[in-house]
């Protein structure tokens, strides 16, 4: 993957390119950013740039043997470590190497914009959670002990580094403390606090923000062939998450679904209609975990927009024009006296769904708390 294929993030690209041009490549770097920001895509483009013998001041060449190998994720000096666990094919002792073919196919299909939910679906984990385990770390140590095949460097991309269990993290720490010569570790993570403090302290932080709205909108038009109105609305709703933007475009009706469903839910909560809330919470199970999360995230967006409305900044509200009237009318019910609790309630719901919590119970618990919270003046 070349830097030019990464959506937006021009400032981050410049810093990464400069580090390689000046031969100041830290041996361990933590690419930290939210889902859909392109952190893995940036790490992959950076790895290709480091390993490309013909790179210039802007990008890797894209055509040399090294670049062609990386395009297939098959470069002998590029190593991956990703969350995994047992499935129907791997019944015991799982590790990344047993899923490497699926990983290559998945990354190529997703054009390096990856996320845990779709990765777990790709390897058929059903309702299991994947982890980076001590076998992953041990296998990596053995492979890094071998001299590089083709280039000056060996590069390791450890995706979703916060999914390391304690044994793996401690073993990985030894590698970071005493790294093999000319080895670069690129740890990609979304939640820095879930990493061991000792690992965080040994990696240079590369902070990656959400993708710029203009870059998302432009990419939707150029890569997805979207009309300008749909691209604009999807870019606004995505809040810097390319994966969300693509989802909104591919499932255009979902954009209306989240708006209509959230509005109806809030009406049930305000009425404190227990029977309707029970039905709503039971029915929510059928839409799937990802859409359940998206619905709660839509609620967080409404909460943030309510803060803008309450401070007279209606023009800053990030919603399509046809959804703004509801947000303006709803804003008084999410005010300085209950804003924090409202946001924390929805964020906790998202975390519980990520952990495979039972959606009807999660939504019913949120609903009952909202019946009281929305009446706080």
Name which of 2, 5, 11, 7 is nearest 207 in CA terms. 11
In a domain, 214, yes or no: no
pLDDT in tens, 275-324: 999 999 999 999 888 889 989 988 998 888 888 888 888 777 766 777 77
pLDDT in tens, 241-278: 999 999 888 877 677 788 899 999 999 999 999 999 99
Query: Does 266 share its domain with 358?
Result: yes
In a domain, 220, yes or no: no
pLDDT reported for residue 310: 81
Q: Percent of the chain scored above 90 by pLDDT?
A: 74
pLDDT reported for residue 253: 64
Burial class (CB in 10 A: 0-12, 13-18, 19+), 51: buried
Question: Which of 139, 174, 207 is the endpoint of a domain?
Answer: 207
Beta carbons of 237 and 320 less than 8 angstroms apart: yes
In a domain, 283, yes or no: yes
Q: What is the C-alpha separation between 293 and 273, in angstroms, rounded? A: 23
From residue 23, alpha-carbon distances to 16, 20, 187, 236, 297 in Å are: 11, 5, 20, 38, 41
Strand 28-32, strand 183-189: pairing:
parallel
Mean pLDDT of 11-15: 97
* DSSP state, residue 350: H
Query: Does 192 share its domain with 69?
Result: yes
Name which of 127, 120, 43 is nearest 84 in CA terms. 120
Beta carbons of 123 and 84 less than 8 angstroms apart: yes
pLDDT reported for residue 326: 86
Mean pLDDT of 113-117: 95
Q: Mean pLDDT check: name the lowest of 2-11, 312-321, 322-331.
A: 312-321
Query: Does 163 share its domain with 263?
Result: no
The four Cα atoms 91, 118, 357, 256 give a dihedral, to 10 degrees, of: -160
How high is the mean pLDDT of the chain? 92
Question: Which of 147, 176, 207 is the endpoint of a domain?
Answer: 207
Residue 183 in tokens: 């080895």
pLDDT in tens, 56-109: 999 999 999 999 999 999 999 999 999 999 999 999 999 999 999 999 999 999
The range of the structural domain enclosing residue 163 comes to 3-207
Query: Does 39 share its domain with 179?
Result: yes
Mean pLDDT of 12-40: 96
Query: Does 17 share its domain with 90?
Result: yes
pLDDT at 41 over 80: yes
Tally of domains in the chain: 2
pLDDT reported for residue 308: 85
In a domain, 217, yes or no: no
CATH of the domain at 336: 1.20.272
From start to end of the chain, where are the E strands?
28-32, 78-81, 154-159, 183-189, 204-207
pLDDT at 214 over 80: yes
CATH of the domain at 67: 3.40.50.300
In a domain, 33, yes or no: yes
Query: Does 58 share its domain with 187?
Result: yes
pTM of the model: 0.77
Name which of 17, 18, 28 is nearest 180 in CA terms. 28
Question: Which of 207, 240, 270 is the endpoint of a domain?
Answer: 207
Give Cβ neighbours of residue 15 (< 8 Å, ≥ 6 apart): 206
pLDDT in tens, 160-189: 999 999 999 999 999 999 999 899 999 999
pLDDT reported for residue 313: 82
Return the SS3 of 35. Answer: coil
pLDDT at 133 over 90: yes
């Amino acid at each position: 993957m070349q830097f030019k294929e990464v959506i937006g993030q021009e400032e981050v690209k410049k810093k990464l390119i400069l580090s390689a041009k000046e031969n100041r490549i830290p041996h361990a770097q933590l690419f930290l950013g939210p889902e859909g920001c392109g952190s893995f895509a940036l790490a992959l483009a950076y790895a290709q740039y480091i390993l490309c013998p013909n790179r210039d001041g802007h990008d890797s060449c894209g055509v040399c043997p090294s670049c062609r190998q990386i395009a297939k994720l098959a470069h002998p000096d590029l190593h991956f470590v990703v969350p995994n666990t047992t499935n129907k094919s791997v019944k015991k002792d799982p590790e990344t190497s047993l899923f490497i073919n699926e990983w290559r196919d998945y990354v190529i299909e997703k054009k390096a914009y990856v996320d845990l939910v779709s990765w777990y679906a790709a390897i058929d984990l059903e309702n299991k959670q994947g982890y980076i385990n001590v076998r992953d770390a041990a296998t990596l140590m053995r492979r890094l002990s071998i001299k590089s095949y083709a280039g000056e460097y060996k590069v390791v991309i450890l995706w979703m580094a916060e999914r390391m269990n304690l044994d793996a993290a401690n073993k990985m720490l030894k590698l970071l403390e005493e790294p093999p010569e000319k080895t670069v570790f690129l740890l990609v993570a979304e939640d820095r606090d879930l990493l061991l403090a000792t690992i965080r302290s040994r990696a240079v932080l590369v902070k990656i923000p959400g993708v710029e709205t203009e870059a998302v909108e432009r990419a939707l038009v150029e890569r997805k062939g979207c009309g300008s109105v749909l691209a604009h609305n999807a870019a606004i709703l995505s809040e810097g998450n390319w994966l969300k933007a693509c989802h909104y475009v591919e499932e255009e009706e979902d954009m209306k679904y989240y708006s209509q469903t959230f509005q109806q839910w809030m009406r049930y909560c305000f009425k404190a209609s227990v029977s309707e809330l029970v039905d709503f919470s039971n029915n929510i199970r059928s839409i799937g975990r990802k859409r359940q999360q998206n619905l709660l995230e839509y609620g967080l967006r409404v909460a943030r927009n309510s803060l803008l409305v309450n401070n007279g900044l209606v023009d800053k509200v990030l919603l399509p024009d046809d959804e703004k009237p509801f947000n303006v009318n709803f804003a008084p019910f999410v005010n300085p006296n209950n804003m924090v609790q409202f946001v924390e309630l929805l964020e906790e719901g998202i975390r519980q769904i990520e952990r495979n919590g039972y959606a009807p119970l999660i939504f019913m618990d949120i609903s009952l708390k909202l019946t009281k919270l929305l009446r706080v003046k």
